[in-house]
Structure 1
Amino acid sequence: MSSNINDFINRLGKNLKHQLKWAKRQNIEAWRIYDKDIPQFPFAIDVYGEHIHLQEYDTGWLMHEDEYRAWLDEVCEAVQYVTGFSRQNIHLKQRMRQKGTAQYEKTGILSEDFIISENGHQFWVNLDKYLDTGLFLDHRNTRKVVGDTAAGKRFLNLFSYTGSFTVYAATGGAIYSETVDLSNTYLDWARENFLLNNIDLAQHHIVRADVFQYLADAMRQNKQFDIIVLDPPSFSNSKKMLDILDIQRDQAKLIDGAMNLLAKDGILYFSNNLRSFTLNDDIAARYQVTEISKKSIPDDFRNKKIHQCWEIQHR
């Protein structure tokens, strides 16, 4: 393995050199510096301020345990060498192939939360405690679009995770919002993010609910929103949910449910990260649909299939 560690070091150094200026111009402290660029090193590597989030993808390769440990150590040393960050600021995770409630799973490792800034907004992140960090970097572009267009609007965030879209909407001048998720952990995190950005909790409501149930209730209450973000997991079998969520199967139910709450001139951003996902033809027949994935995936993501995203409006 070690013969090509130099290829890895060179690529990482080249990427970093190119991106440091770019990140400064973009006004961001968290971005992706490496994304399986070299197949022999199947990692996604993200900078978060003074920290590195280093995720190994499960390739199914079989290595002897000792050899594998030595290889991982070598990779960590290479990252440390290129970035100049200390070893304890390099957070290694193995990303296994799994279905279900992966993003909500604890790793069992305790570590400090810290704050990073993105376009003048502040977010709490944790690089060890859960499989995900609290901020999905691949949605940075869409967050900015939401923030830039939210002034005077009513905003709804479904499957909100830690509420980052709402932070952009609220600080961008949204007059009212609802942030909906089923996880208390993530809604508490969203609340902390709101406080960090001086967001008024009387105006911007945090709602713990099953999204399917919420959509039915909100329709009965005649709720209306001007911008809606719908970013469901691909699959969830959370015990708290009424049903198992399968985004390919359930897309119409979710999109129709959201469109029932969307004002006449409103806009729904629908996104998911299921590679094999295809949007049903009848959705394009019912609504005005524009795929914006090319624009929505940031420049620092080499993997252009990290998510798909659509703008959906009433015809």
Structure 2
Amino acid sequence: MKKEIKLKIKQDYAKKIKEGFPLIEKEALTNAEILSEEGQILHLMDERGRFIGKGYYGEQNKGYGWVLTRHQDETIDQAFFEKKIGVGLQKRSSFFKDNSTTAFRIFNGEGDGVGGLTIDYYEAFYVVSWYSEGIFAFKNQILKALQQLVEYKGIYEKKRFNTGGKYIDDDDFVTGERGEFPMIVKENDVQFSVHLNEGPMTGVFLDQRDVRKKIRDQYAEGKTVLNTFSYTGAFSVFAALGGATKTTSVDLANRSYPKTVEQFSINGIDYEAHDIKVMDVFEYFKYAVKKQLTFDMVVLDPPSFARSKKHRFSAAKDYKDLLKQAIAITEDNGVIVASTNYSGYGMGKFKGFIEKAFKETGHRYKIEEQFTLPSDFATTKEYKPGDYLKVVFIKKL
């Protein structure tokens, strides 16, 4: 059993933790110098020495760790993680019964009570992602807890904690049988090719499930669609299956071409009838304006930070300008699907970028609908950054 380290929390922060805030913020600690090894169990007290919670030390984003329990006598052991993961599985029981979708999240960090840990399900394989060395210190207990609760073919892991900006890619396989890749999973009866053994990402972002379905079912028919920052072309595949006359997928990464071809092909779509371009998205916008290309739908789903030889993009600073470029090549009455996974601002500020972009370009708009995280990506209302996804369908009038 790990020894508990007593940490004093400043009064204002102690009040937040008592009210359910799960992150142990760096500014909250009065004696942070006693922290020495990530994974230490923290006994949190207010400035009067009164117990307010137990957590663990693990540096992630703006925090020094996460609160795990507000019960002083609760032990952080395998049984603790078994209980937490068990509740997570019960919440997603309907997903396991749905044969049309065979890839989803079964445990979502602080939304399920353990910040820094996510677990995803891919057709009887599980992928455990560790977001700090602190939570990784509990690896054996968490894996044993998972193995007690589920039947599985194999378990893989992703070490997502910071190691000088490089992904730790020694071998993601943990136990069970190794998968044969590409593996085919389903999302709303659409097939996806995934690789659980190729770096931090598997080939599909599961948090966009509801958005892709909406595009296929209600927006794509008869439309020309531009999918920017397209990764493996998932939005393009759904648009094509929804009856889009043509999709154009643009991503700077060389791997995007073969991966997108693969996704089209396994769904019986002729990829040669669609455009797949490996180039800087910002250069593509210039190219489209020069060639007078316009689209009925433009999907904008950039990473929070992106860099190419000529451009740097930050969702915090540059999203408005990105929108302005999209507006310029969107047909009147066309739709822009504006999306960001940046957790530093909420939906209100994001809509503010939309308003400014349209105002500065002299166009009017109407918000058709909006999305946040799907139900398997559980969040807690006390920690707003955890509900990071913001997607707005905007009609250009």
Equivalent residue number for residue 196 of structure 2: 127
Aligned pair 1:264/2:332, yes or no? yes
SS, match of residue 145 in structure 2: helix
Aligned pair 1:299/2:343, yes or no? no
Q: CA deviation at 1:157?
A: 0.3
Residues 210/263 of structure 1: CA separation in 2 closer, same or farther (3 Å cut): same
Match for 2:207: what amino acid? D
Deviations 1:106-138 (A, max 9, x none): 835487321101111111111221211111011
Which of these residues, 53, 76, 79, is aligned with residue 146 of structure 2?
A: 79
Equivalent residue number for residue 237 of structure 1: 307
Equivalent residue number for residue 94 of structure 1: 159
Match for 2:378: what amino acid? R
Aligned pair 1:107/2:183, yes or no? no
Deviations 1:179-236 (A, max 9, x none): 0001111221111111111112232111111001000111111112111111001112
Aligned pair 1:13/2:90, yes or no? no
SS, match of residue 21 in structure 1: helix
Residues 61/20 of structure 1: CA separation in 2 closer, same or farther (3 Å cut): closer
Match for 2:145: what amino acid? A
Deviations 1:239-264 (A, max 9, x none): xx422222222223311111111111
**Farther-moved stretch of structure 1 (126-135 vs 280-289):** 280-289
**Bigger helix fraction:** 1
Looking at structure 2, the residues matched to 270 and 170 of structure 1 have their Cα atoms a distance apart, in angstroms, of: 19
Equivalent residue number for residue 52 of structure 1: 126
SS, match of residue 264 in structure 2: helix
TM-score (norm 2): 0.69
**Farther-moved stretch of structure 1 (115-124 vs 6-15):** 6-15
Looking at structure 2, the residues matched to 183 and 54 of structure 1 have their Cα atoms a distance apart, in angstroms, of: 25
Unaligned runs of 5+ in 2: 2-74, 173-178, 380-385
Alignment of 1:189-208 (within 5 A): 189-208=259-278
Looking at structure 2, the residues matched to 235 and 12 of structure 1 have their Cα atoms a distance apart, in angstroms, of: 31
Aligned pair 1:308/2:390, yes or no? yes
Q: CA deviation at 1:52?
A: 0.6
Match for 1:7: what amino acid? F
Looking at structure 2, the residues matched to 62 and 19 of structure 1 have their Cα atoms a distance apart, in angstroms, of: 23
Residues 62/73 of structure 1: CA separation in 2 closer, same or farther (3 Å cut): closer
Aligned pair 1:166/2:236, yes or no? yes
Task: Please tell me the root mean square deviation across aligned C-alpha atoms, in Å.
Answer: 2.6
Q: CA deviation at 1:40?
A: 4.9
Aligned pair 1:290/2:367, yes or no? yes
Residues 122/97 of structure 1: CA separation in 2 closer, same or farther (3 Å cut): same
Q: Is the Cα contact below 8 Å between 2:88 and 2:112 reproduced in 1?
A: no
Q: Is the Cα contact below 8 Å between 1:290 and 1:312 reproduced in 2?
A: yes
Tell me the matched-pair count: 300
Q: CA deviation at 1:292?
A: 5.0
TM-score (norm 1): 0.86
Which of these residues, 124, 131, 139, is aligned with residue 208 of structure 2?
A: 139
Q: Is the Cα contact below 8 Å between 1:8 and 1:41 reproduced in 2?
A: no
Match for 2:387: what amino acid? K
**Farther-moved stretch of structure 1 (185-194 vs 8-17):** 8-17
Which of these residues, 247, 253, 266, is aligned with residue 177 of structure 1?
A: 247
Match for 1:274: what amino acid? Y
Looking at structure 2, the residues matched to 41 and 75 of structure 1 have their Cα atoms a distance apart, in angstroms, of: 13
Looking at structure 1, the residues matched to 369 and 245 of structure 2 have their Cα atoms a distance apart, in angstroms, of: 26
Deviations 1:264-292 (A, max 9, x none): 11110111111114433512635426395
Quote the sequence identity (%): 29
Equivalent residue number for residue 246 of structure 1: 314
**Bigger strand fraction:** 2
Looking at structure 2, the residues matched to 309 and 201 of structure 1 have their Cα atoms a distance apart, in angstroms, of: 27
Looking at structure 2, the residues matched to 255 and 40 of structure 1 have their Cα atoms a distance apart, in angstroms, of: 35
Q: Is the Cα contact below 8 Å between 2:84 and 2:113 reproduced in 1?
A: no
SS, match of residue 258 in structure 1: helix
Q: Is the Cα contact below 8 Å between 1:99 and 1:236 reproduced in 2?
A: no
Q: CA deviation at 1:81?
A: 1.6
**Farther-moved stretch of structure 1 (10-19 vs 112-121):** 10-19
Unaligned runs of 5+ in 1: none
Q: Is the Cα contact below 8 Å between 1:230 and 1:270 reproduced in 2?
A: yes
**Farther-moved stretch of structure 1 (229-238 vs 162-171):** 229-238
Match for 1:175: what amino acid? T
Looking at structure 2, the residues matched to 274 and 314 of structure 1 have their Cα atoms a distance apart, in angstroms, of: 24
The structure that has the greater radius of gyration is 2
SS, match of residue 200 in structure 2: coil
